[in-house]
């Protein structure tokens, strides 16, 4: 009975201290949470980076339309199988900034079945980039998005 009372007191003390801790924590002010206009423009042009954490290689990709305009918020995906037997796998996905750029870092230098295929898409537009990290570890490429050709015969 004495142990039960001791545990209950300890539990109440812990609950009270936890609620006191969260009650005194400063809450974010929505007016100060937004960055100044100069910083917002700077962060919009900052290149989004996806880190695979599996090697020394990196590739920066620029996504454009057929007219040569950069594509904002295009989704870029890649599936990577690496190391012995390809048992280690990575599925990376990122979106482009206002300049149509995205960067993938930490890619393995040797992959199971080269080249890697970076697939980019936005609405009904799509494009593919073949990249082999063994031949060019640090690279910069572009993908042109266009409407996929229909494969159905009339």
pLDDT-above-90 percentage for the chain: 60
Q: Is the pLDDT of residue 3 over 90?
A: no
CATH number for the 47-144 domain, one of 1.10.357.10, 2.60.40.10, 2.60.40.1120, 3.40.50.300?
A: 2.60.40.1120
Poorest-pLDDT segment among 43-47, 49-53, 99-103: 43-47
Q: Compute φ and ψ for 39, nearest 5 degrees.
A: -75, -35
Q: Is the pLDDT of residue 38 over 80?
A: no
Residue 105 — very low, low, confident or very high, per pLDDT cuts 50/70/90?
Answer: very high
Q: Compute φ and ψ for 144, nearest 5 degrees.
A: -100, 120
Rounded to an integer, what distance in angstroms lies between the CA atom of residue 18 and that of residue 101?
A: 44
Q: Is the pLDDT of residue 102 over 90?
A: yes
| Contact in structure between 143 and 68 (CB atoms under 8 Å) | no
Q: Is the pLDDT of residue 77 over 70?
A: yes
Query: What pLDDT is attached to residue 15?
Result: 63
Rounded to an integer, what distance in angstroms lies between the CA atom of residue 120 and that of residue 95?
A: 9
- Per the confidence metrics, is the pTM higher than 0.75? no
Instruction: Give bridge partners of residue 94 from the DSSP assignment.
Output: 76
Q: Is the pLDDT of residue 32 over 70?
A: no
Domains in the chain: boundaries: 47-144
Greater confidence, 8 or 64? Answer: 64
Q: Is the pLDDT of residue 88 over 70?
A: yes
């Amino acid at each position: 009975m004495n142990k039960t009372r001791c545990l209950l007191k300890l539990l109440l003390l812990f609950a009270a201290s936890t609620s006191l801790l969260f009650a005194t924590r400063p809450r974010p002010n929505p007016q100060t949470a937004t960055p100044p206009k100069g910083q917002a423009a700077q962060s919009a042009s900052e290149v989004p980076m996806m880190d695979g954490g599996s090697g020394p290689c990196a590739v920066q990709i620029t996504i454009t339309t057929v007219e040569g305009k950069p594509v904002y918020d295009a989704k870029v995906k890649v599936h990577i199988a690496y190391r012995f037997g390809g048992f280690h796998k990575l599925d990376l996905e990122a979106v482009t900034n206002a300049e149509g750029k995205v960067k993938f870092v930490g890619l393995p230098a040797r992959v199971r079945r080269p080249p890697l295929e970076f697939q980019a898409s936005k609405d009904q537009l799509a494009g593919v980039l073949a990249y082999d990290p063994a031949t060019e570890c640090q690279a910069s490429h572009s993908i042109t998005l266009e409407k996929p050709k229909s494969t159905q015969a009339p």
